Amino acid sequence: MKVAEKFLKYVTFDTMSNEEVNDCPSSKGQIEFANYLVNELNSLGIKEVKLDEFGYVYATIPSNIEKRVPTVGFIAHLDTSPAVSGKNVKPRIVNHDGNDIILNVEEKIILSETEFPNLKQYRGKEIIVTDGLTLLGADDKAGIAEIIAAIEYILENNVKHGEIKIAFTPDEEIGRGADKFDVNYFNADFAYTIDGGELGELQYENFNACGVKIKIQGKSVHPGSAKDKMINAALIAAEIVAMFPKAEVPERTSDYEGFFHLSSISGSEEYASLSYIIRDFDLKSFCNRKRVVVEIVDSINSKYHKEIATCTIVDQYYNMKDQFKDAMYIIDIAKQAMNDLNIEPKVVPIRGGTDGARLSFMGLLTPNIFTGGHNFHGKYEFIPIESMEKSKNLIIKIIENIAVTKGR
């Protein structure tokens, strides 16, 4: 089955993760999708396939060569972002002719080159888009489709290879994808997450990241008699938001610049809450940003002479760059495979994170490779079919190249 056909099937599963749920996985749809993938892997004749109690899918393809070469792993995640609904995804394939793509007539949702200039490079190409009401799910169902399509090709064509490991993880989008990953069971020498963006991306630098939850306890009193009594939690939440640096937000930063991102806000007079994510490549700057949050909360409590605001800060992952100081050969393997396929390597920092960031600190060095997708986490998401095929071919080429390296 072609990689695009697999992808179109996979996006029918609603696998949106939920940070408010502590279970692993955090949503039922992830288990349903995991079970589907287990059955698909079994149907390919792969003998060693495992779905564990936490929703992680593992599989091993034994070596078919005599010499010992490095065991390589390929990893993608099951869940989609909670930023936009992943339920009832209705993808369609369009041949982009340069004109605006009308995603949804009723809602007047349009994918245009004016708003998204990266669309220009795909004129004359087939791309998969949404109906404008949900995200597409290329992050990271495209990665899963590309991995399985590559393995399917290798098995059907008796491609020579060393031992190959694959894994599909839950809850990556809410920062938990590596929480219960069994590195020892996976037992690869190194791995690649197939979770990047446009064609050619190769990444081994990422943000340091944490999640922040600020809770405000107010005091609700009838507004007719509220003078000197009411503490309006919703207004204090707005006050806190205004205290953050206004220029240090995702929509006003790029490259190596960090940010504070308000991901949700809710509240009433009695209670309000804010959720932020903090991102920064530099560890010292990252720590300073966390300090800013604490200082803002302390300032509010000082102003109101009581502890009405509390904050919880949870580190999620760290920049994996330093882990590769003595292991750049892993990056070079991917670069060489790209060059072999006439794909220009684009070694860029990840303005985000992958499971690989945390796994690299857990003893499994795992840089990130492109899926081909654009505009992740939103209704304007799209992915070119040609880029998906090239990602699949890259996985195959990495496996082939490793098989011809000097044995150990």
| pLDDT mean values, one per 10 residues, the chain (408 residues) | 94 96 96 98 96 98 96 98 95 96 94 95 97 97 98 97 98 92 98 96 95 95 91 96 97 95 95 97 97 98 95 93 94 98 95 89 97 96 98 98 80
Class of domain 3-206+319-403: alpha beta
CA distance 383 to 7: 10
Contact 76, 147 (CB under 8 A): yes
- What confidence score (pLDDT) does residue 55 get? 97
Tokens (6 digits) for 237: 């939440």
CA distance 310 to 315: 17
Which residues are marked as active site? 79, 172
- What confidence score (pLDDT) does residue 354 get? 83
Q: pTM for the whole thing?
A: 0.87
Edge-first strand listing for the sheet containing 309-317: 259-267, 271-280, 208-217, 309-317
65 in helix, strand or coil?
A: coil
Those residues whose C-beta lies under 8 Å from the C-beta of residue 195, and which sit 6 or more positions away, are 75, 76, 77, 139, 140, 143, 172, 354, 355, 356, 368, 369, 371
- What confidence score (pLDDT) does residue 398 get? 98
Residue 110 main-chain phi, psi, to 5 deg: -130, 135
Question: Other C-beta atoms within 10 Å of 141: how many?
Answer: 31
Domain coordinates of the chain in residue numbers? Answer: 3-206+319-403, 208-317
Ramachandran sector of residue 262 (left: φ over 0; alpha: ψ -120 to 50; beta: rest): beta
Contact 112, 99 (CB under 8 A): no
334 half-sphere exposure, CB direction, 13 A CA radius:
29
- What confidence score (pLDDT) does residue 407 get? 56
145 in helix, strand or coil?
A: helix
- What confidence score (pLDDT) does residue 317 get? 86
- What confidence score (pLDDT) does residue 405 get? 82
Handedness of CA 201, 348, 380, 86 (dihedral sign): positive
Tokens (6 digits) for 74: 């390929």
Write the single-letter amino acid at 282.
D
CATH topology for the 208-317 domain: Alpha-Beta Plaits (3.30.70)
